Amino acid sequence: MKRIIANLCFLLFALSLNATIRTVSNSPATLAQYNSVQAAIDASASGDTVYIHASAIGYGEVTLINKSLALIGPGWSPNTNPGLKASLHRININENCDNTIIQGLAFYGNGQNWDNGGAGIVFQWNIAVRGLKIIRNYFSNANIDATCSSALFENWLIEGNYFFATGLGAAFCAWYQTERPTWTNILYINNIFRGQYGGSFGAMGNATGVEITHNLFMFGNGFCSYCQNFVFTNNIFYKMNSPEQGVGNSTYLNNITFANNGSNAPWTVNGNTGTGNIENLDPQMAAGVNIDNMNDPLLDYTISAGPANDSGTDGKDLGLLFDPTGYLNWANSRNPKLPVVNSLLINSTATSGGNLEIHLKASQAK
């Protein structure tokens, strides 16, 4: 029966992708086609999907080269029982992987050492990656890292992720290295960055069209090692250490800061400019003091009143989006963008060679 349930779920998703779906599980309790993510990747062609089942056992390190795939897990906190994640140490991305999707996975490791427990998502030397989508994943001490090279990264979407003690960029570039990646048309929307010891962004000075909108930045030491020409809109900077660090010649529109150790007006330093920003006022998120005391992406970060309420350039609340419809709702970010099977009734009285009656109800992906 488990195989039937899994195949029905995958069929719903396959109808929209019109490509081969391969399933992976390293747990004997869950049936799948492969027990190794790398084996499923090796068997796939561009346009295929690899669905990685939840497991108490991590899936290790994988490499993607010369293929555009969708790697999809059950979400960073799936509302299922027992609610397990699908975790990896590291995904190595090489040349010719445009339009790859990484969704619903969890990455754990030591974010300051690639070889100690994993590094998250790592891009190799001098490659070009376009159209990448990193959606609804969990990163704990595991970065999204580009090597310090002449790589080109273009038209990326970073949405609905939870970053703890980590960030994105060429984080391991030393200050004296002049060869750095080029970042073009990168959108960060509806993410949480919490407790970043190395900064949220790294070595992104060669940037054009990088927009940081409707994110929540909280705590953390520093912000960026070298970032230029960013556009920040509708974000919350909450109790950060030096949120102005490393950011220059950037534009801030309708952001709010509160109790930062450093500048509470980063739009006034380093050649930055801005309008509509709110300096050093409590955004009044519903979770209140729990935000300071708990590392929990499921806290209530909504805003019902106060200076951040309806204060965005789009007329919405500052910080995370909680739109009642559509995909951009932080309350839905814990799960991947897949249909959910609500009920499945199988007529088990069918005789050999007869018809098997199946009643399936599923809700639309959110």
DSSP 3-29: HHHHHHHHHHHHHHH-S-EEEE--STT
Residue 37: CA atoms inside 13 Å, Cβ hemisphere, count? 29
Q: How far is Cα 219 from Cα 242, in angstroms, rounded to an integer? A: 10
Integer angstrom CA distances of residue 117 from 37, 56, 75, 111, 344 = 17, 16, 21, 9, 39
Q: Is residue 151 part of a domain?
A: yes
Q: Per the structure block, which two tokens stand in for 265? A: 């007006």
152 with 182: CB under 8 angstroms? yes
pLDDT in the model for residue 343: 56
Q: Is residue 308 part of a domain?
A: yes
Q: Is residue 344 part of a domain?
A: no
Q: Is residue 350 part of a domain?
A: no
Q: Is residue 50 part of a domain?
A: no
Pairing of strands 128-130, 152-159: parallel
* Stretches in the chain below the pLDDT threshold 50: 1-17, 111-117
pLDDT in the model for residue 220: 78
Q: Per the structure block, which two tokens stand in for 267? A: 């739009």
How do residues 87-113 score in pLDDT, each as one tens digit?
998 999 999 999 999 999 999 876 444
Q: Is residue 37 part of a domain?
A: no
pLDDT in the model for residue 12: 44
pLDDT in the model for residue 71: 98
- Cα maximum dimension of the chain: 76
Q: Per the structure block, which two tokens stand in for 156? A: 């990326």
Name the residue range of residue 309's domain: 59-336
Residue type, 33: Q
Give just the sign of the alpha carbon dihedral 161, 166, 172, 178. Answer: positive
Q: Is residue 322 part of a domain?
A: yes
Q: Is residue 14 part of a domain?
A: no
pLDDT in the model for residue 11: 44
Q: Per the structure block, which two tokens stand in for 304? A: 């019902």
Q: Per the structure block, which two tokens stand in for 360? A: 């399936």
- Number of domains observed in the structure of the chain: 1
pLDDT in the model for residue 113: 43
